[in-house]
């Protein structure tokens, strides 16, 4: 059993580290960027968030999603999906969630993220 302490988890709550899918989906749907999300997108984002706070937190606390750029995530996720023994669909769901948080967390989306 490996214990991994990731410094930037700090004392933030899970919802601050990994905003709930409904918050992200609601924010994207109402933002000026007018992202169109179909039901399949919503379900995939929600599934990805579920995996993120459960399976992805099996070895370490969930990392703050916005602590890494999408470029960094595209390096991290394939490695961590392997750690989690994720299927391609599960990997894609986590990426969809992480990407949605980044679109939602973009200041241009016109609303406030949990970390300010």
Q: In terms of CB distance, is 29 or 82 closer to ligand HEC? A: 82
| Closer to ligand HEC by Cβ: residue 84 or 113 | 84
Phi and psi for 43 in degrees, rounded to 5? -65, -40
Concatenated DSSP letters of 67-101: GS-HHHHHHHHHHHHHHTT--HHHHHHHHHHHHHH
Q: Judged by CB under 6 A, how many residues of this single chain contact ligand HEC?
A: 16
70 binds ligand HEC (CB under 6 A): no
Q: Which is nearer to ligand HEC, 76 or 112 (CB)?
A: 76
Minimum Å distance from CB 6 to ligand HEC?
6
CA distance 99 to 70: 7
Among the listed ranges 24-32, 40-48, 53-61, 101-109, the one in contact with ligand HEC (CB under 6 A) is: 53-61
Q: Encoding tokens for residue 92?
A: 């894609």
The Cα–Cα gap between 81 and 38 comes to: 25
Assign 20 to helix, strand or coil.
coil
Interaction of residue 80 with ligand HEC, rule CB under 6 A? yes
Residues that bind ligand HEC (CB under 6 A): 2, 4, 52, 55-56, 58-60, 63, 68, 76, 80-81, 83-84, 94
């Amino acid at each position: 059993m490996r214990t991994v302490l990731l410094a930037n988890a700090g004392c933030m709550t899970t919802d601050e580290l990994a905003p709930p899918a409904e918050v992200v989906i609601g924010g994207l749907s109402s933002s000026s960027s007018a992202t169109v999300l179909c039901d399949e997108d919503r379900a995939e984002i929600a599934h990805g968030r579920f995996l993120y706070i459960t399976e992805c937190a099996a070895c370490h606390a969930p990392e703050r999603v916005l602590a890494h750029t999408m470029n960094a995530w595209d390096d991290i996720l394939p490695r961590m999906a392997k750690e989690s023994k994720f299927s391609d669909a599960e990997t894609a769901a986590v990426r969809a969630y992480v990407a949605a948080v980044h679109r939602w967390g973009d200041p241009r989306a016109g609303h406030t993220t949990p970390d300010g």
